[in-house]
């Protein structure tokens, strides 16, 4: 009997409105703390330490619940409230919808944090491309040229670092990573044809890290050779194997977009009497499936196409092609959940309001009846 009583008390606590308020207050405090940390250490540090963590350490010594832990607590609270506290009848439909909407909102935030991916695409006026690059995820690209054609293959550097060799069966080659440096710099005293890498402390923002690697290449005769790659060079390393040149390059991870994007025109508007940008827009041409059309991408006016969202991110006024525009390319499978959650919560509030209004009018008529 005592076990049932303790379980009932625990469920009542988990379903309580007080726990909901405490969870929301803690979440608001985490948002404030994350905003302060973002100003000091950058966006990535705030995401990793607060917004995408179960526990974060205040001043490095005091453990406090992170956003994931608070979110999980609120999910349990909402589920228990739906199951044990709310009325499962028409009069309580509004509150039920409101709680389901909150659950959908929390689920959308978690899915976005885990599965959303952000890439960048920089185009000069007149340039076009169907490839975007990651901000700080790296891959190893390899290619050779035959008959005037170049076929590039790439593999995520994380897959190679796990110890899995990368085989080229048509040439009987095998490539493995001997050592990977998340952040390094080349030695200045090295010979022009040789690259010596010195590992340095990784930066808080991974976009500032320049990786390098020591690679082992084995050919069909069992001969092994070792060479080094530094991402900061921007030029591939060339290895001569079986009378053919092979090119290896450590580069930011690239994806192929479902469209070809061309920057037709870029415009920047400044505040009167200053050089401070007021707005900047990119007029682009979209080519997909043999069809072409133009669209405008501006601040707070993104372009959505094929599951990707293109945001106006930054620009440069001087370059080999004149002005250039940088677009943030985001793929978020759960981007519709916040909209659905907002609709459910709005509908729940409307139903709850009219339900309470109907109950009040009914009570007023009853009290006014002699």
Rg (CA), the chain: 28
Domain that holds residue 50: 2-116+338-368
Say which range, 71-85, 175-189, 315-329, has the weakest mean pLDDT.
Answer: 315-329
326 shares a domain with 235: no
Domain tally for the chain?
A: 3
User: What integer is the mean pLDDT of 100-104?
Assistant: 93
126 shares a domain with 274: yes
Give yes or no for residue 71 having a pLDDT over 70: yes
247 shares a domain with 142: yes
96 shares a domain with 70: yes
Distance in angstroms (rounded) separating the CA atoms of residues 242 and 276: 57
232 shares a domain with 190: yes
**What is the per-residue pLDDT across 118-164, written as a single tens digit (0 to 9) for each?**
899 999 989 999 999 998 889 999 988 877 778 888 999 888 887 78
124 shares a domain with 112: no
9 shares a domain with 112: yes
Choose one of 254, 278, 313: the last residue of a domain.
Answer: 254
Q: Are 344 and 104 in contact (CB under 8 A)?
A: yes
Choose one of 254, 272, 305: the last residue of a domain.
Answer: 254
**What is the per-residue pLDDT across 23-59, written as a single tens digit (0 to 9) for each?**
999 999 999 988 888 877 777 778 888 888 999 888 7
240 shares a domain with 264: no
141 shares a domain with 93: no
pTM of structure: 0.77
Distance in angstroms (rounded) separating the CA atoms of residues 75 and 343: 19
198 shares a domain with 288: no
86 shares a domain with 42: yes
74 shares a domain with 153: no
User: What integer is the mean pLDDT of 13-26?
Assistant: 90
Q: How far apart are the first and last CA of the chain?
A: 50
Q: Are 246 and 227 in contact (CB under 8 A)?
A: no
Q: Is 252 helix (H, G, I), strand (E, B) or coil?
A: strand
Say which range, 5-14, 92-101, 288-297, 339-348, has the weakest mean pLDDT.
Answer: 5-14
Considering only residues 141 and 61, tell me which one the structure prediction assigns the higher pLDDT. 141
Q: Are 244 and 131 in contact (CB under 8 A)?
A: no
Q: Are 200 and 185 in contact (CB under 8 A)?
A: yes
Q: What is the mean pLDDT of the chain?
A: 86
User: What integer is the mean pLDDT of 326-351?
Assistant: 91
Choose one of 254, 285, 305: the last residue of a domain.
Answer: 254
**What is the per-residue pLDDT across 228-283, written as a single tens digit (0 to 9) for each?**
999 988 888 898 887 888 899 999 999 999 999 999 999 888 888 777 777 889 99
H or E stretch covering 125: none
């Amino acid at each position: 009997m005592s076990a049932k009583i303790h379980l009932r008390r625990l469920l009542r606590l988990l379903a309580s409105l007080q726990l909901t308020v405490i969870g929301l207050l803690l979440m608001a405090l985490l948002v404030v703390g994350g905003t302060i940390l973002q100003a000091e250490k950058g966006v990535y540090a705030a995401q990793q330490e607060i917004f995408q963590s179960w526990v974060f350490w205040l001043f490095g010594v005091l453990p406090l619940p992170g956003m994931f832990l608070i979110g999980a607590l609120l999910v349990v609270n909402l589920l228990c409230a739906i199951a044990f506290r709310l009325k499962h009848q028409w009069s309580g439909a509004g509150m039920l919808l409101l709680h389901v909407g909150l659950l959908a909102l929390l689920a959308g935030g978690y899915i976005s944090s885990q599965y959303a991916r952000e890439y960048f695409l920089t185009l000069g006026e007149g340039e076009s491309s169907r490839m975007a690059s990651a901000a700080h995820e790296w891959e190893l690209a390899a290619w050779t040229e035959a008959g005037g054609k170049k076929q590039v293959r790439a593999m995520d550097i994380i897959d190679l670092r796990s110890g899995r060799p990368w085989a080229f069966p048509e040439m009987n080659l095998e490539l493995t990573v001997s050592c990977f440096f998340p952040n390094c710099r080349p030695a200045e005293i090295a010979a022009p044809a040789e690259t010596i890498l010195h590992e340095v402390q990784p930066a808080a923002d991974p976009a500032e890290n320049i990786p390098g690697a020591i690679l082992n290449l084995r050919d069909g005769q069992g001969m092994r050779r070792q060479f080094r790659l530094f991402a900061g060079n921007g030029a591939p390393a060339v290895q001569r194997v079986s009378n053919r040149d092979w090119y290896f390059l450590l580069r930011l991870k690239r994806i192929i977009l479902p469209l070809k994007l061309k920057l037709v025109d870029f415009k920047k508007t400044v505040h009167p009497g200053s050089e401070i940008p007021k707005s900047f827009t990119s007029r682009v041409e979209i080519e997909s499936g043999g069809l072409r059309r133009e669209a405008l991408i501006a601040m707070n006016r993104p372009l959505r196409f094929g599951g990707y969202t293109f945001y106006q991110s930054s620009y440069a006024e001087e370059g080999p092609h004149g002005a250039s525009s940088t677009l943030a390319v985001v793929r978020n499978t759960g981007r519709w959940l916040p909209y659905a959650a907002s609709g459910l919560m709005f509908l729940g509030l409307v139903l709850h309001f009219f339900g309470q209004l109907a109950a009040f009018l009914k009570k007023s008529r009853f009290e006014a009846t002699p």
